[in-house]
Chain A
């Protein structure tokens, strides 16, 4: 538990042969659904990586998206420092991964040291399923789930991180799992970060349409790669009394979907 100065950097997996992956767990997973983090660790370790969890906080997206560049920069600097030195940084969220990959470099003066470091982090940052498929070369998993699931493409994962086929390919290898595609998988779920609490009724209408699409598939599970989408859709499914379970792709791929699908206190 050493400290703010140079965590990570000093003890990165240089010693072992395995490449190192630092997991940025994200605020929402950290708080609401730790199982997603453990699922990610399991998948990454099975893929042959040394997984580390550096001390961490928020990536700064709420600040960035609300015009607070200064706050966002402060948080970006913190993240950049704590995640330096690892071979890869993997995030079980397309939106937080997009923040690191696309937006951190845009926060700093071009050519500045901060920006170079941001670029360095950006180059090493991946969304979980695309990392597993594109970088680690994982094409199948051992998990089982006898159910029908549908998959929602989180906007930032899809458009910023180019995540589309990777989760689908991996899900196809889950034993017993049928995938029933949405008619509009690429339409927003209405979350939008702070948007959903700033304009709750607009957000709700968008979610309502998404849910109609989900129901039409007849799926038992709604899967996505972003907890923001899952909380939004899952929270409304529950309010509506639906039995459809919202679940992170990582949980399914790690065979942890059934164990903790409906968090009971």
Chain B
């Protein structure tokens, strides 16, 4: 998985200067929490649902291999094939192999973050196949040559006029007037995609859940594009991560309710499809070839570690929509297909900590992600886990490490600490004018770049206390 996460600072600054992005993110921040809350409030005691969902995910992860094998067996019984891919390259090879066997020239795809993770489109294109994204957002960013900026709303960063401009450039169509209204754009994309759906040789989808008990694949969309992708071509390939398995249909039902509510404030997504294997003799349509590619790509390494709970994730994006950092800088700044809090935990796990060093640090630890997560993933704890590893591996900048070391020493004796604070107070007063400091030297510069600092009011608390009230006992 390629990342540009090492450029987080720079990408974030660029994003902060982008006014249209700011508007889009402002909408996410304002609207998403409201619709999520109202949808969850319809459940009696949503917290109890969260408990059940996270317990169900934990049960599954504790015996992941068992459930995956059960799923595989069921799929085989249904006449489908299951492939295991250790990493992205292996997955791409398997998928390209299936496509080539099918003699595929055109491949349609419905939205799948896993295929973004393994960069499947570029791989298939390098094998001379035409890949068409069919989710409207994905389609737009595919035309624009961009990566998703949100796991569920990949084209969140694109404005309406940019969509129009993109369609004008890429669709070779006669139009009475330039595109202006969203519905016009939608209908145009729909017409263009309809042809692609019909001419595709292979359809590739992700999966929201895999049901071990029945071998079923659950896919939800709000556009119905996954259904056309999965049912029109003669070959359907499902590509997904190994953690997506759930034991039973009932578990899937539980997850679906929370997913739709947490993701988009819906009681259920517009289309929820359950697919069981290839077309049967009595079916009038459907693909004759059905494949499921199960991707590991670092996931099994998280099992049995402090990161295991991250594998509970159902990709609802609630943590992203509620994150103050994400809603300030957007998804591209993270430099990873997975952004926001969940991305900051997952990316180092999937791409390596060195490739993602900034991400676990770019958090205020406000804890809202954990609060809204329907499967109760303790995201701040996991970000801390990565920060600990960075410190251990000496990846933390030297200035920070030395600073912390020095701080520990200064704190070894309360007396030293007290005098240090006293000195700091005096120094700060020296920099002050009328009660405020507008420019600090050294590391303090980052503070005064945007804000002032009040001057310490007189002597430190401990100093004053000892002078007026101390001595009598508590030293």
Contacts and interface: CB of A to CB of B under 8 A. Distances in A.
Interface string A178-208: 0000000011101111111111111111110
B450 A204 contact: yes
A53 B467 CA distance: 12
B427 to A, nearest CB: 11
Nearest to A154: B366
Contacts of B405: 68, 71
Contacts of B124: none
Contacts of A11: 473-474
Nearest to A246: B454
Interface string A124-135: 000000000000
Contacts of B469: 53
Interface stretch (A22-30, A114-122, A143-151, A217-225): A22-30
16 contacts: A1-B470, A34-B459, A53-B470, A54-B474, A66-B387, A66-B396, A67-B387, A67-B389, A71-B407, A155-B367, A159-B366, A192-B366, A199-B12, A202-B329, A204-B449, A235-B452
A82 interface: yes
A3 interface: yes
B324 A32 contact: no
Contacts of A232: 451
The size bracket of the interface on B is: 35 or more
A265 B432 contact: yes
B270 interface: no
A141 interface: no
Given A52-B473, A65-B365, A187-B324, A231 B465 contact: no
- The SS class assigned to the A binding surface is helix
Contacts of B428: 31
Interface stretch (B78-86, B88-96, B113-121, B408-416): B408-416
B408 A63 contact: yes
Nearest to A196: B447
Interface string B112-149: 00000000000000000000000000000000000000
A54 B400 CA distance: 29
Given A65-B387, A265-B432, A188 B324 contact: yes
Interface string A213-240: 0000000000000000001101110110
Contacts of A29: 461
A19 interface: no
A205 B453 CA distance: 17
A239 B412 contact: no
A186 B368 contact: yes
Given A7-B474, A192-B365, A235-B451, 14 more contacts: A31-B456, A53-B465, A58-B417, A62-B407, A70-B408, A159-B371, A190-B364, A198-B446, A199-B361, A201-B16, A201-B449, A202-B16, A203-B450, A239-B451
Interface in B256-273: none
Contact of B435 (A57, A198, A262): A262
B397 to A, nearest CB: 9
Given A66-B396, A159-B371, A160-B367, A265 B455 contact: yes
B170 interface: no
B454 A82 contact: no
Contacts of B454: 32-33, 231, 234-235, 238, 263
Contact of A206 (B324, B387, B455): B324
B441 interface: no
A156 B452 CA distance: 24
Contacts of A243: none
B1 interface: no
Contact residues on A (Cβ < 8 Å of other chain), bracket: 35 or more
Contact of A31 (B12, B413, B424, B470): B424
A206 B474 contact: no
A64 B407 CA distance: 12
B411 A58 contact: yes
Contacts, number: 227
Contacts of B407: 58, 62-63, 71
Nearest to A51: B469
Contacts of A207: 450-451
B55 interface: no
Interface in B327-372: 328-329, 361-368, 370-371
A53 B417 contact: no
Given A11-B473, A190-B324, A201-B12, A69 B461 contact: no
A69 B364 contact: no
A232 to B, nearest CB: 7
B16 A264 contact: no
A214 B293 CA distance: 51
B362 A199 contact: yes
A78 B412 CA distance: 7
A179 to B, nearest CB: 22
Contact of B452 (A7, A53, A239): A239
Contact of B414 (A31, A56, A156): A56
Nearest to B454: A263
B135 to A, nearest CB: 29
Interface string A33-48: 1111110000000000
B434 A71 contact: no
A142 interface: no
B390 interface: yes
Contacts of A140: none
Given A25-B461, A260-B457, A262-B435, A200 B324 contact: no
B411 A37 contact: no
A42 B364 CA distance: 32
B101 interface: no
A32 B435 CA distance: 11
A4 B418 CA distance: 14
A112 interface: no
Given A31-B460, A206-B325, A235-B453, A67 B474 contact: no
B461 to A, nearest CB: 4
Contacts of B325: 202, 206
Nearest to B361: A198
B12 A34 contact: no
Nearest to B405: A71
A53 B472 CA distance: 11
B421 A82 contact: no
